Amino acid sequence: MRSAFLLSLFVLFFSVGSSSQGVFAQFIVHDLDNDEQCRWIEDHLQSKEQVISARAEHFSDNVLLFVADGQVLEESQIVQWCAEYGYTISCYRSGHVGSDKILRLHSSECDVPLQQLKD
């Protein structure tokens, strides 16, 4: 299952483009218990106007969103969207496609400065 998630990230990264256009957001959604919940949250997040693609993995609770070029997606917006569905998030980070790394988030590292996670 982990390899499927990583393969999805690879495909999404190159389908969005490897230039610095576009933004991604990644975070942990708490209590994603199974694949059905992941697909459900993916569908609902992807239905938002700003979101090009959404991927979730229940083993790690990681969610990755790709946002349309020129769109801004703030953490508060994601918190609100997930709260509408009864979920809470943590470990939010965002970056630019092509210049910032997409990381596998762990809740134990949420308070670690991003610079240390990149090293």
Lowest mean pLDDT of 17-21, 35-39, 93-97, name the range.
17-21
Structural class in CATH, domain 2-118: alpha beta
- Tell me how long the chain is: 119
Instruction: Give the Å distances, CA to CA, from 56 to 36, 70, 113, 115.
Output: 10, 23, 23, 24
Q: Show the tokens assigned to 65.
A: 């969103």
pLDDT band at 4 (very low <50, low <70, confident <90, very high): low
pLDDT given for residue 3 in this prediction: 53
pLDDT band at 115 (very low <50, low <70, confident <90, very high): very low
**Residues 58-111 pLDDT 10s:** 888 999 999 987 887 889 999 999 999 899 999 998 888 888 888 888 776 675
Q: Where are the domains of the chain?
A: 2-118
Instruction: Give the Å distances, CA to CA, from 93 to 35, 81, 106.
Output: 23, 16, 12
pLDDT given for residue 11 in this prediction: 45
Residue 30: phi, psi to the nearest 5? Answer: -75, 145
Instruction: Give the Å distances, CA to CA, from 26 to 16, 40, 101.
Output: 15, 17, 11
Mean pLDDT of 14-42: 79
pTM of the predicted structure, to 2 decimals: 0.74
pLDDT given for residue 96 in this prediction: 87
